[in-house]
A and B are shown apart, each in its own frame.
Chain A
Amino acid sequence: MIKYVIRRLMMLFPVMVGVIFLVFFIISLTPGDVATIILGDGATEERIKDLREELGLDDPLIVQYGNYMIDLVQGDMGKSYSTGLSVAGEIKQRFPNTFKLTITAIFLSVLISIPIGVISATRQYSIFDNIGMIVALIGISMPSFWTGLILIILFSLKLGWFPSGGMKGIMSLILPAFTLAIASTASITRTTRSSMLEVIRQDYITTAKAKGVSRRSVINKHALKNALIPAVTVIGLEFGVLLGGAVLTETVFSWPGIGRLMVESIQRKDTPMVLGCVIVFALSFSIVNLIIDILYAFIDPRIKSNYS
């Protein structure tokens, strides 16, 4: 088990090296000269030239990449081009907010979709099954900024139940987390439903039923725990989708997270900040998937044996 975890962790390194290079390369394609952007309209040629030299912008891309990696290995993510603030400091402030939002969203979405999935499976082809699935699908079919605005108008402006935005207490978390959760409800519901169906048909469930165990207890005691395994994997995958979705939700709900920071930084061509954000996104996504895999092995020991 430990060997497996270590091997998975080791595999993160080449991926991160690749991610950083890829993003470095893409940003370098962005038109516009960073020095001019930093200095603004009134800058003299000379100052621009000095700054370019200072930032090492005239070096070949591979050299810039190398320098960045050397700093990074020493724990230095550099300073933002546009604010001069430490990238690590900004991310330390912002990332917990996004994490909080995403985790809450996952939780909400599990809370909504597992019951729907289970009931849909036990009453396959019933009206509940059909409507439940369609509702879940409508959820992923709505652009999140659109949903977000509608929720704000309805629940903050008209009903006054929740704040319209910002980050102040648990109430302000609900609307953005719900907006975000809507998007991943469908796939978790779907997975729960189909794995539940699969389990229900297995022999031991039939046996249990035949023995006269009540329907409810069959589902709770036997079917559910086995059906949840695939659902857990999907939750891990959805984490990435939610991290991405946070970009829009954070803007609509004025949530000071890292997604907004990244988009703003892309627009300012603030390479160190964009890279910082990407590293954090990629790392947390990979780590969550790693955790899910470990949990998976924990729940179902058969899987563990495959890896060791």
Chain B
Amino acid sequence: MSDRTLSRKMIPATKKRSQALDVWKRLRKSNSAIAGLILIFIFLCLAVFAPLIADYENDALKMNIIERLQSPGADHWFGTDEMGRDIFARIVYGTRISLFVGVISVSIALTLGGTLGAIAGYYGGKIDNIIMRTLDVLLAIPTILLAITIVAALGASILNLMIAVGISNIPGFARVVRAAVLSIKDQEFIEAARAIGSRDHTIILKHVLPNSMAPIIVFATLKVASAIMATASLSFIGLGIQPPTPEWGSMLAGGRAYIRDNMYIVLYPGLAIVLTVLSLNLIGDGLRDALDPKLK
């Protein structure tokens, strides 16, 4: 009995570790992926240490009419917005919101889409057909339009935004997870697990998913990037996060009227989005190449 448990854990674990090491070795060779990792690390630090960098209430939220629309300078590195709030402070706190929204909405999509995809891929046949045909319905509507429709229905708030972006990404994740599961479900160690009488959900959760993680991680990384973009787009249409929350997309959308005379109001939040999304894309791309050794 103890031997069995041991072997059950052993097979995928060794495979996983060596694979991860391989991937890391190859990833390290890619300058752009490393640049992306460094950038994301900086943004993560900003998010975590925001309170040490700026005061939320006083710098990011409080109106200060006398100091409105100031160009970037020593007092305000990135200038101030139309209400006299420090743009740098708002961007720093905005990192939290943007990354949070991106990660959570992708988690929603991953959990729901992943479950459906895994079930479809693992069982195949009729179940597969029913699930995938149902998801075709979601897939037929362009992601951003689906998100707009959902936010319009639920009302604009951080939670609803994440739900909308999450739901509209379900079919994508389902497809990726299904494909990943399909590619390994007939491999030996899965057969072995089945032979020793493991239950289906145990096999899926403990053996199939951990070993099909690679393409899913790549996809998720890229989707966090597009979720951040989707949030910005929704803000532009007026369905963004409610003020005064310093979210990049709404800073960009709210400041766009000032683009002529006070370019910096939209320049810095825009750059923040570009850099974050870019670094996620670089990492995603790097991972994709690293995971697909035949290309290198």
Contact = CB atoms under 8 A, between A and B. Distances in A.
Question: Within the complex, are A and B direct neighbours (CB within 8 Å)?
Answer: yes
B64 to A, nearest CB: 26
SS class, residues of chain A in contact with chain B? helix
A58 B193 CA distance: 55
Contacts of B281: 137, 140-141, 186
Contact of A22 (B32, B137, B253, B285): B137
Interface in A202-249: 240-241, 243-245, 247-248
Interface stretch (B5-13, B148-156, B180-188): B148-156
B142 A241 contact: yes
Contact of B295 (A146, A198, A243): A198
Given A244-B145, A281-B145, A286-B140, A143 B232 contact: yes
Nearest to A267: B152
Interface in B116-168: 133-134, 136-138, 140-145, 148-150, 152-155
A31 interface: yes
B284 to A, nearest CB: 9
Q: Interface range on chain A: under 10, 10 to 19, 20 to 34, or 35 or more?
A: 35 or more
Contacts of B140: 15-16, 19, 282, 285-286
Interface string B266-286: 100010011101100110010
B277 A140 contact: yes
A19 B273 contact: no
B236 A145 contact: yes
B252 A19 contact: no
Given A130-B31, A245-B144, A247-B237, A194 B295 contact: yes
B142 A146 contact: no
B229 interface: yes
Contacts of A133: 32, 285
B225 A15 contact: no
Contacts of B114: none
Contacts of A274: 149
Given A137-B282, A138-B274, A138-B278, A263 B237 contact: yes
Q: Interface range on chain B: under 10, 10 to 19, 20 to 34, or 35 or more?
A: 35 or more
A30 B294 CA distance: 50
Contacts of B137: 15, 18-19, 22
Given A29-B154, A146-B252, A153 B144 contact: no
B256 A248 contact: no
B295 A26 contact: no
Contacts of B152: 30, 266-267
Given A26-B153, A245-B144, A137 B138 contact: no
Interface centre among A15, A16, A130, A153 (most CB of B within 10 A): A15
Nearest to A14: B133
Contacts of B282: 134, 137
B252 A30 contact: no
A142 B256 contact: no
A88 interface: no
Contacts of A14: 133
A259 B145 CA distance: 8
Contact of A29 (B136, B153, B289): B153
A149 B273 CA distance: 16
B133 A247 contact: no
Interface in A10-31: 11, 14-16, 18-19, 22-23, 26-27, 29-31
Contacts of A11: 133, 136
B145 A27 contact: no
A82 to B, nearest CB: 15
Interface string B30-49: 01100000000000000000
B94 interface: no
Contacts of B153: 26-27, 29-30
B205 interface: no
Contacts of B256: 145-146, 149
Nearest to A244: B142
B17 interface: no
Contacts of B31: 130
Given A153-B260, A248-B236, A198 B142 contact: no
Nearest to B144: A244
Contacts of A150: 259
B151 to A, nearest CB: 9
B274 A141 contact: yes
Given A133-B285, A143-B252, A145-B233, A26 B150 contact: yes
Interface centre among A16, A26, A31 (most CB of B within 10 A): A26
B94 to A, nearest CB: 14
Interface string B220-235: 0000010001001100
22 contacts: A23-B141, A27-B149, A137-B281, A137-B282, A140-B229, A140-B277, A141-B273, A142-B273, A145-B256, A146-B232, A146-B256, A153-B259, A194-B289, A194-B292, A241-B142, A244-B143, A244-B145, A247-B148, A247-B237, A274-B149, A278-B149, A281-B141
> Considering the complex of A and B, which 10 residue pairs feature the smallest CB-CB distances, nearest first?
A244-B142, A18-B137, A141-B277, A244-B144, A282-B140, A29-B153, A141-B278, A143-B232, A30-B153, A141-B274
Interface of A: 11, 14-16, 18-19, 22-23, 26-27, 29-31, 130, 133-134, 137-138, 140-146, 149-150, 153, 186, 190, 194, 197-198, 201, 240-241, 243-245, 247-248, 251, 259, 262-263, 266-267, 274, 278, 281-282, 285-286
